[in-house]
Amino acid sequence: MLPRIGITGSIAPSRIGTRRAFLNEPYLTGIRDAGGLPLVLTPAHQGESLRAFYEWLDGLLLTGGEDVEPARYGETVRHETVESVPERDALEFELLRWALADGLPVLAICRGIQVLNVALGGTLYQDLATEPDRPANVAHNQAALDPPVPRVQPSHAVTVLPGSFLAGLVGEGERAVNSMHHQGIRALAPSLHPVGFAPDGLIEAVEANDAAPSSFLVGVQWHPEELAVAGDPVSRRLFEAFVTAAAKHRTSHGAP
């Protein structure tokens, strides 16, 4: 049986007058190509159906997308750029609570790293481009550059700290990454350790303070799924390590 990876999607109104559930395909192909079975979770999964679905999982992938509702980190909306989907917040915070309690392997991407940080007690910059208390010499949304940089191409460097769990997966030092976000970590949650930084000092990768080779709790601000689809071997290694951790979790817990 392939390791079963739950991947979170979102919801939005459609042009035909109903709501649609959606997820960018590279998340699915990234897990599939790494040897996992991708399973999509959306805000339509609630209550008993959500818990039943969760019980199937060997790993949880939190994906990119809308902004975390500022109320979840004790703030009001201060920027017109903030767009939240409360139903998605409810889904992901619940799933993450269960996953952390059970030691389920978690990979958190873009919005996902922000969900992880807020769930554990951290806060966010609501809009990096307009915050007065941080450097602004790095373009964190490459789609807004002139000309725009395609999603599958890197646009700035991230420095991965030597000796970190993440460095053991992707290598230490500078790594070229893509960047498609307007928010980021402000105050880091106490139980997380910063292990990757953009040139302007923004935290771009985190892991558990007690990270060890037998565990997997990693968050990255960039989009390795897009780079993996484009053939980047480093990004593929990250997905492969995540799926391997999910397989080990499955075996150690005697899952059917």
CA distance 117 to 24: 22
Q: Which is catalytic among the residues 45, 69, 110, 240?
A: 110
Res 15: pLDDT: 81
225 among known catalytic residues: yes
Per-residue pLDDT tens digits for 187-239: 999 999 999 999 999 999 999 987 544 579 999 999 999 999 999 999 999 99
Q: Which is catalytic among the residues 140, 181, 193, 223?
A: 223
Q: Which is catalytic among the residues 69, 204, 207, 225?
A: 225
- In degrees and rounded to multiples of 5, residue 88 shows phi and psi of -70, -40
110 among known catalytic residues: yes
Buried b (16+ CB within 10 A) or exposed e, 106-115: bbbbbbbbbb
pLDDT, averaged per 10 consecutive residues of the chain (256 residues), comes to 96 85 96 98 94 97 97 95 95 97 96 98 94 80 85 90 96 94 95 95 92 76 96 97 96 74
223 among known catalytic residues: yes
Residue 99 exposure: Cα atoms within 13 Å on the Cβ side:
32
What pTM, to 2 d.p., does this model score? 0.95
- CA distances from residue 7 to 3, 28, 55, 128, 130 in whole angstroms, order as listed: 13, 8, 14, 27, 31
Buried b (16+ CB within 10 A) or exposed e, 163-191: ebbbbebbebeebebbbbbbbbbbebbeb
Res 255: pLDDT: 63
Q: What is the DSSP string of 34-55?
A: TT-EEEEE-TT--HHHHHHHHH
The residues near 205 (Cβ < 8 Å, ≥ 6 apart) are: 113, 158, 160, 166, 194, 195, 196, 197, 218, 219, 220, 221
